Amino acid sequence: LKGEYSSFASGAVEGATNLPLRDDLALRALAYYDQSDGYLNQNGAHDTADATENNGQRLALRWLPDARTTLDV
């Protein structure tokens, strides 16, 4: 887990975990979020014209059916 905060009211958080499901099967989960109010100072309808907000998630599955084979999905 990682978090940060900086100028322009910008912040971010992200985290990842690995979960062994069996001896030959594992799941990896990752999520992130970041936002910023931007650095432009405007008045009116578009006062946050350069503001940003992003987020995402990802899952990955790894299966090791034998010693020579790896399947990542």
Residue 7 φ/ψ, nearest 5 degrees? -60, 165
Q: pLDDT tens digits for 33-56?
A: 999 988 777 777 666 678 889 999
pLDDT of residue 46: 66
pLDDT at 7 over 90: no
